[in-house]
A and B are shown apart, each in its own frame.
Chain A
Amino acid sequence: MNVLEISRFAVRGLTANKMRSVLTMLGILIGVAAVILLVAVGQGSSDSIKQRIQSLGANTLTVSASFSGGFGGPAGGRGGGGGAAGPRTQARGLTLEDARAIAASGDAPSVKSVSPVVTSSSATTTYEGASHSISQVVGTYPSYFEATNKPVTSGAYFTNQDVTAVRKVVVIGKTVADELFGQVDPVGKKVNIQGAAFTVVGVLKESGSTGGQDADDIAVAPLPAVQQSLTGYGSLGSIVVQATSAEVTDVAEAEITAILDQRHDVTGNATADYRILNQASLQETVTEATGTFTVLLAAVAAISLLVGGIGITNIMLVTVTERTREIGIRKAIGAPRGAILGQFLIEATLLSLVGGLLGVGVAVAGSQFTIAGVQPVIVPQSIVLALGVSVAIGLFFGSYPANRAAKLRPIEALRFE
């Protein structure tokens, strides 16, 4: 009596009640497919978020004004004049001088470039008959393109001369080019942005980011030109700083903090009126968050795998009860305990293994489609794990009914009605 022989009995046992076997397998199939697919979705969304952050430029720091934290703290002020959290001086926006200070200072050796930025949203733009509302018009310096990882596909960036001469030139995103020009090459054409005529000098490469805001619905022009015709000469929206390398972003952050604290009179425990967004640390945070997200998804899926396993126990118990007489007959003609145990264990394991393999197939097929806007990325370990767990489930959940069958005394089993 070898394993192959016992397996044949097991297969015969399973095919004797095909519908039931298929439904039981379905439980495991769904569990395994869910584990693999949900982990793949988690991985896919994590990948795409990382890619999006990377496309913003890995070694950039964005300094922006922060007005949160209360102007002197209204609650504290009323409670008894000047609490422990020292009231800070009137919050000031970021200025071009701040940007110049960072760029010119010998105290910031880790800083490669500094780009002051003003933005204007929903700028109505026309070209001949076509009209489009650009979601973001950016006024800045040429270093912005490199710092934020925005190459051009046709034409060129504007130059420092364009900035100093306040020339009305603009580099437009792919979406803007498509909306206004269609098939026509936009370079050299004049567009009208909020009443001001700008000459298109370049078109940005498609960033290809998915979901949320369209990163290609953008126009970038020299800072003074945008201030003059769109935003006015108020404070800056932000300052984009590029560090000399990804490794020194934290150093650069410290250098900038020192310079700005001094310029904005931030001392001791006073709250700064600006904040610095560090892409590298952001990426770390996001990776952590998506990791947690993936684990949660996997946990939910694991529960469905467990439910599938309980389904196997249930069916195997029913099978053993139903076939008690048959077990009695087999024992009466000399089936050893091991053969009976083996048969039912193999039946349970086959159910879970075949269900698991089909689940892998379904998951691999399902990962070809985008799910909730995410292109799933299959993690090979999740396949190995899900299959391993499903086989273990078959063995574990099958062993109780199988043991019960094997322990039956022949005469009791034969008398069973």
Chain B
Amino acid sequence: MSSPMNGPMDGDRYGSAGSANRWAGEPMSEPAEGPATTADPVLLIRDVTKVYGEGEATVRALRGVSLTVERGDYVAIMGASGSGKSTLMNIIGCLDVPTTGTYLLGGADVGALDEVRLARVRNRRIGFIFQSFNLIPRMSALANVELPLAYGGVRAAERRRRALAALGLVGLSDRVGHQPNELSGGQQQRVAVARALVTSPTLLLADEPTGALDSTSTKDILAIFDRLNLGGKTIVVITHEDDVAAHAKRVVRLMDGRIVDDRRQAPVDGPPPLVDDRSPTGAMSER
């Protein structure tokens, strides 16, 4: 990004992505949805279960999971394939509903929200990164990143400014006009990260974000996560790779729908353990 992003705030609810204070570790302006205070954990789930199917074909994907994630934490969820990681993540991301149990997001009960409010929560408070990128085909990188802002009701000029800033953050300023099929896997995932970031969500969720990437692209994504967490962003990432989990401050292990291990690797208010503390874009290779 060539221009400094310190423009007037227009009075809307979003902080501007990529503005300098993000990197200084200041808490971001919270999109108010319910009586959230900084004291509330970002995420609090209690005794959540999820049962798929009925009768003979019943699968108990989650068998009572309780988890609290504090503001600024960086959590890796590990576990064998089929242990319920994705199921848990989809519930946290408000894409699916638990069979039983409660889920509080920033102190507000998600289960009590109607369809319209749920859409708003997905739009403003959660950034979701998928293993398979899930960009919309035949739309430029810029248009893809602008999309959440469009659904959030941000005006066109402001939207463009923030989308460009978010793409700058992930080192793709020179690829804004490219469509997904004109980008490498690593670049597509970085566009997806920019899209997840652009609304300044409270919580960044990633389901095996590096699962489809080579080692260099994996490093890029992990470096971005490290710096985002250093800037105060709460991150929950699913992975089955120890290398990825090593970047997190806390590692939670799932087995057969239960948490079997919860280990802290670094304090919540400190930097992530493997952060590469140089200039924001310097560490990123441009491909």
Contacts and interface: CB of A to CB of B under 8 A. Distances in A.
Interface of A: 1-2, 5, 12, 16, 325-326, 328-337, 339, 409-411, 414
Contacts of B130: 414
30 contacts: A1-B152, A2-B153, A12-B138, A16-B138, A326-B136, A326-B137, A329-B135, A330-B147, A331-B122, A332-B93, A332-B128, A332-B134, A333-B122, A333-B148, A333-B195, A334-B119, A334-B120, A334-B122, A334-B124, A334-B152, A335-B119, A335-B151, A336-B119, A336-B151, A337-B115, A337-B116, A337-B119, A410-B95, A410-B96, A411-B95
A12 B139 contact: yes
A312 to B, nearest CB: 22
A268 B90 CA distance: 95
B123 A333 contact: yes
B151 A334 contact: yes
Contact of B134 (A1, A329, A411): A329
Contact of A329 (B119, B136, B199): B136
Nearest to A333: B148
B148 to A, nearest CB: 4
A411 B122 contact: no
Given A330-B147, A333-B128, A336-B116, A414 B134 contact: yes
Given A334-B122, A414-B95, 13 more contacts: A1-B153, A12-B139, A325-B134, A329-B136, A330-B147, A332-B122, A334-B119, A334-B121, A334-B124, A335-B123, A336-B116, A337-B119, A411-B90
A42 to B, nearest CB: 46
A293 B64 CA distance: 73
- Which interface class (under 10, 10 to 19, 20 to 34, 35 or more) fits B? 20 to 34
Nearest to B127: A333
A333 B116 contact: no
B260 interface: no
Contacts of A336: 115-116, 119-120, 151
Contact of A334 (B123, B134, B135, B138): B123
Contacts of A333: 122-123, 128, 147-148, 151, 195
A414 B136 CA distance: 12
A333 B152 CA distance: 10
Those 10 A-B pairs whose CB atoms lie nearest each other, nearest first: A334-B123, A336-B119, A334-B122, A411-B95, A411-B96, A333-B148, A410-B95, A335-B151, A329-B134, A334-B151
A340 to B, nearest CB: 10
A296 to B, nearest CB: 46
B59 interface: no
Interface hub of A1, A2, A12, A334 (most chain B Cβ within 10 A): A334
A411 B134 CA distance: 12
Nearest to B120: A334
B283 interface: no
A1 B119 contact: no
Nearest to A410: B95
- Most central of B121, B122, B153 by chain A CB within 10 Å: B122
Contacts of A339: 151
A383 B68 CA distance: 64
Interface in B114-166: 115-116, 119-124, 128, 130, 134-139, 147-148, 150-153
